[in-house]
Amino acid sequence: MTTTTAAGTLTLGDKTFNRLGYGTMQLPGSGVWGPSADPENARRVLAKAVDLGINVFDAADAYGPFTSNLLMRDTFAPYQGNYKNIFISTKVGQTRQGPNLWTPDGRPDYLRQQVELNLRTLGVDSIDLLFLHRIDPKIPLEDQLGELKKMQDEGKIKHLGLSQVKIPELQAAEKIAHIDAVQNLYNVTDRSDEDVLDYAEQHKIVFVPWFPLATGKLANEGSVLKKIADKYQASPAQIALAWLLKRSPMMLPIPGTANLDHLAQNVAATAIKLSDNDFQAIANLK
């Protein structure tokens, strides 16, 4: 059975974790809204992920809201035994008004409230990694990140990250607090944030690509990606994941699924070692 140990590791603070995580965005209902359609299956998937070596779980207060957090608490708490070394990242700064509706809110008192609710719904005393889900353009960044830095100083947050940012925003944030991770859209079909990834690698910042398995037209029959997938007896999505892992040692993909078979396929991708030529052929795709 393939486990995520093949992907290598990353370390933040006192925790070392395998370089393939699990994103919980698909566990709530349609539109990332409401309860899971099958909570029992969701808990099975979470537990199986740990069995397969996944020890990084990425969530957000906005997923549900709180659906993913509560499912993780039900599955993992009190975080002992097989669940002792789980590393949890979550996010604050997005409000929800309904399915597929997201509105940034960076008011310091709101961010503090949401961190406290994350702690409660996850059943933890401190959050391993807390992302500002989106920078609210209506609120000064120093007020938003400054409040999260206060909570870090209080011991409620261990590491801070930013989501969907450009380099100037990241550099401005670094003047306020130490930034350990960035979570941006990045995959084989959308590499518009290549410069952010390069910056993260140069500064030893963990880069978490969301929507990592996107292949789009690149996976069509006869395409370069499909031919490479056939060569490795893998799916295009598995090759896309293997490509991300080879792209940077700071890369931490977090593919999500509510399907046990898909979960196993994602983990199996960590055993695929692309040749330099195949890696470059995919890198050259547009």
**DSSP for residue 49:** H
pLDDT at 3: 83
Report the alpha-carbon distance of residue 49 to residue 283 in Å, rounded. 29
Report the alpha-carbon distance of residue 213 to residue 256 in Å, rounded. 9
At 283, which helix (H) or strand (E)? helix 276-283
pLDDT at 174: 98
Residues 181 and 129: beta-carbon distance below 8 Å: yes
pLDDT at 199: 98
Task: Output b/e per residue, 220-241; b: 16+ Cβ within 10 A.
Answer: eeebebbebbeebebbbbbbbb
63 is catalytic: yes
Tokens of 248: 């940077």
pLDDT at 106: 98
Report the alpha-carbon distance of residue 279 to residue 262 in Å, rounded. 23
Residue in the structure block whose two tokens are 């994103």: 23
pLDDT at 35: 98
pLDDT at 225: 94
pLDDT at 218: 83
Report the alpha-carbon distance of residue 82 to residue 46 in Å, rounded. 12
Active-site residue, selected from the candidate residues 63, 186, 199, 232: 63
**DSSP for residue 139:** S
Report the alpha-carbon distance of residue 44 to residue 6 in Å, rounded. 23
pLDDT at 9: 97
Which of 17, 76, 65 lies closest to 42, judged by CA? 76
pLDDT tens-digit series, residues 78-109: 999 999 999 999 999 999 999 999 999 999 99
pLDDT at 215: 85
pLDDT tens sequence for the chain (286 residues): 678 888 999 999 999 999 999 999 999 999 999 999 999 999 999 999 999 999 999 999 999 999 999 999 999 999 999 999 999 999 999 999 999 999 999 999 999 999 999 999 999 999 999 999 999 999 999 999 999 999 999 999 999 999 999 999 999 999 999 999 999 999 999 999 999 999 999 999 999 999 998 888 888 998 999 999 999 999 999 999 999 999 999 999 999 999 999 999 999 999 999 999 999 999 999 7
Give SS3 for 21.
Answer: coil
Report the alpha-carbon distance of residue 160 to residue 8 in Å, rounded. 22
